[in-house]
Amino acid sequence: MVLSVGYTFYYFCITTSYWEVAFIDPWSFTVISLIIGILLIVLGTYYSWKNHHIKRSYHIPDGKITYADLNISEKTLFSPRYRLAGKPDYIVKQQEKLLPVEVKSGAYSHPQFHHIMQLTAYCVLLEDTFQTFVPQGLLVYPSGHHMIMMNPKVRFQLEQIIHEINYSKRSQTAYRNHHDKWKCRSCSLRQHCMEKLI
């Protein structure tokens, strides 16, 4: 542990369990302070550049990125109301509004239903976590980005899906809800599924 008072540094020696005093001349103290200041400026500039680069790359609107789960693992958000948990890729704060951003790698020309439901779930998670209304979310594909409005229809569809999932848990039954062989091929539960298409 290090304490600084003027040009005198007090540090705690862990191996011998006592405080020692080290005197540093004013010139060394100035150089150390200057190096620390330069490092802080470089770090601040780097994070500002990174924030700007992320926004430009993913077409994220103006605002402060307050949460980023693509590069650094962030805290999982939880909704006790729906018993949902999840982590959006980004959360952007615009004035007093929060905007969840979900980045997808697939080259889709229009928003996919399951991506819209995922984004809607993130809106609900933000609302329950931060006690604020979230009117929209942003889906980002390599081909473009789409602002998705969280209207009553989309919210109702999410509630229906949550209800179906809870029913499947209670009844211990789950049925395939598609006719897409590609979904079956990439499904992690394919080897256990009695309804697989391939």
Q: 136: which 2 tokens?
A: 């929209």
Q: Are residues 104 and 16 in the same domain?
A: no
pLDDT by residue (tens digit) across 133-149? 999 999 999 888 899 99
Q: Are residues 47 and 105 in the same domain?
A: no
Question: Which residue, among 2, 35, 46, has the nearest Cα to 21 in the 3D structure?
Answer: 2
Q: Are residues 72 and 49 in the same domain?
A: no
Domain count across the chain: 2
Region of poorest pLDDT, from 8-17, 85-94, 189-198: 8-17
Q: Specify the higher pLDDT residue, 12 or 84.
A: 84
With respect to residue 82, please indicate whether it lies within any of the assigned structural domains.
yes
Res 106: pLDDT: 86
Q: Using the 3D structure, point to which of 20, 39, 58 is the last residue of a domain.
A: 58
Give the rounded percent of residues in the chain with a pLDDT score beyond 70: 82
Q: Are residues 34 and 90 in the same domain?
A: no
Q: Are 8 and 21 in contact, with CB atoms under 8 Å apart?
A: yes
Q: Specify the higher pLDDT residue, 12 or 125.
A: 125
Q: Are residues 93 and 109 in the same domain?
A: yes
Q: Are residues 43 and 92 in the same domain?
A: no
With respect to residue 198, please indicate whether it lies within any of the assigned structural domains.
no
Longest CA–CA span in the chain (Å) reads 77
Q: Are residues 96 and 128 in the same domain?
A: yes
Q: Are residues 43 and 91 in the same domain?
A: no
With respect to residue 167, please indicate whether it lies within any of the assigned structural domains.
yes
Res 77: pLDDT: 93
pTM over 0.75: no
Res 1: pLDDT: 46
> What is the residue range of 45's domain?
2-58
Q: Give the span between the Cα atoms of 122 and 92, in whole angstroms.
A: 13
Q: Are residues 158 and 96 in the same domain?
A: yes
